[in-house]
C-alpha cells in the first residue's frame, strides 16, 4: 500500500485498507472458484474415462470446501467489515 499523505486522517487510511483487503479477498475467492470449476470438469472427464463411481464428484466438493473454507470465511469477514464501515460513515453523528 502507498504511504498516506500528511493531511489524511487515520479513519480514511483504515477505510482504504479495509476496501483493499476486501478486493483482494474477492479476487482470491474468484480464482479459487475458477480452479474449482476446472477440477470439477477434470473429475467428470476422469470419472467417465476411467469408469470411477459417481462419488468422485462429491469428493471434489468436499475437498474444495475443506481447503478453501478459510478464504471463504475471510471474504465473509471482510464483507462484514466493509458493511459496518459504510454504515458507520453514513450515520449522522
Q: Is 34 a member of any domain?
A: yes
Q: Is 40 a member of any domain?
A: yes
10-50 and 55-90 helices cross at what angle (nearest 10)?
170
**34 falls in which pLDDT band (50, 70, 90)?**
very high
| Cell numbers standing for residue 87 | 454504515
pLDDT of residue 9: 78
Q: Report d(CA 39, CA 23) in Å as an integer.
A: 24
Domain containing residue 58:
21-83
Radius of gyration of the chain (CA): 20
**Predicted structure pTM score:** 0.70
pLDDT of residue 60: 78
Average pLDDT, the chain: 83
The domain total for the chain is 1
Q: Is 68 a member of any domain?
A: yes
Q: Report d(CA 62, CA 46) in Å as an integer.
A: 17
Q: How far is CA 32 from the centre of its chain?
A: 8
Taking 60 as the threshold, does the pLDDT of residue 44 lie above it? yes
Q: Report d(CA 91, CA 55) in Å as an integer.
A: 51
If you ran DSSP here, which 8-state letter would residue 5 be given? P
Q: Is 13 a member of any domain?
A: no
- The pLDDT tens digits for 52-87 are 887 777 887 888 888 889 999 999 999 998 899 888
Amino acid at each position: 500500500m502507498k504511504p498516506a499523505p500528511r493531511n489524511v486522517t487515520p479513519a480514511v487510511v483504515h477505510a482504504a485498507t479495509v476496501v483493499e483487503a476486501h478486493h483482494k479477498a474477492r479476487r482470491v475467492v474468484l480464482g479459487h472458484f475458477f480452479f474449482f470449476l476446472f477440477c470439477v470438469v477434470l473429475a467428470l472427464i476422469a470419472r467417465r474415462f476411467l469408469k470411477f463411481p459417481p462419488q468422485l464428484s462429491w469428493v471434489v466438493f468436499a475437498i474444495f470446501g475443506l481447503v478453501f473454507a478459510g478464504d471463504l470465511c475471510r471474504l465473509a469477514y471482510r464483507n462484514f467489515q466493509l458493511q459496518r464501515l459504510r454504515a458507520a460513515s453514513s450515520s449522522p453523528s
